[in-house]
Structure 1
Amino acid sequence: MKITKVAKAGTLESNDILIMVKPNEFGKTELELESIVMQQFGEVIEQVILHKVQEMGIEGISIKAQDKGALDYTIAARVETAISRAI
């Protein structure tokens, strides 16, 4: 499945994450992550985001994530919402 427009979900408040998605014309998945806990949890955050994208069967997506200490279930929910809005 491919997304057709730009969409976002979440906020920049503490303990939340802002996810912005847009179509990637090269047909691959790209992720740009900024996080206040990058050194401790950066890899886990990336895995949660990419797992949700794969679970939803999405191809050709660019994701920008700005994390402010969100928990895994919040990250997954924000990714799912942003993708749903972009389809």
Structure 2
Amino acid sequence: MKIVQEAIAGTLESSDLMVKISPDPEQLQVIIKSEVIKQFGDQIKAIVNHELSQLGVTTGLIVIQDKGALDCVIRARVQSAVLRAAKSEALNWEVLL
């Protein structure tokens, strides 16, 4: 999917995270800010990178502000933000697991 506009998903409430995506035609850059980065930073990065790969995102700026979200919440927020940023109308439900 190609990121064509800015998009946000999530909140900054406890146990949630906010995902901000904006277009960057040259590279894929992921920035993660988390209160639990020392304990779960590798897991958060792995989930975000996996979701971006599954959705076919190869360029864009993704900023994650985590407040202790569970893995399933991270997946859902990344998916929502990407679909909004790509203006996706037709969903491939098989990659949204």
Q: TM-score range by the shorter chain?
A: over 0.9
Aligned CA-pair RMSD = 0.7
- Taking the aligned partners of 1:29 and 1:50, their CA distance within structure 2 comes to 10
Residue matched to 1:77? 76
Cα displacement (A) at 1:66: 0.3
- Taking the aligned partners of 1:43 and 1:61, their CA distance within structure 2 comes to 20
The runs of at least 4 aligned residues of structure 1 exceeding 4 Å deviation read: none
| Secondary structure at the counterpart of residue 11 of structure 2 | coil
Could you say which structure has the greater relative contact order, defined with CA pairs below 8 angstroms and 6 or more residues apart? Answer: 1
- Taking the aligned partners of 2:61 and 2:71, their CA distance within structure 1 comes to 20
| Secondary structure at the counterpart of residue 77 of structure 2 | helix
Alignment TM-score, normalising by the size of structure 2: 0.86
Larger Rg: 2
In the TM superposition, what are the counterparts of 1:41-80 in structure 2 within 5 Å? 41-80=40-79
Cα displacement (A) at 1:30: 0.5
Residue matched to 1:23? 23
| Secondary structure at the counterpart of residue 52 of structure 2 | helix
Residue matched to 1:33? 32
Alignment TM-score, normalising by the size of structure 1: 0.95
Identity in percent = 41
5+ long unaligned stretches in structure 2: 87-97
How many residues are aligned here? 86
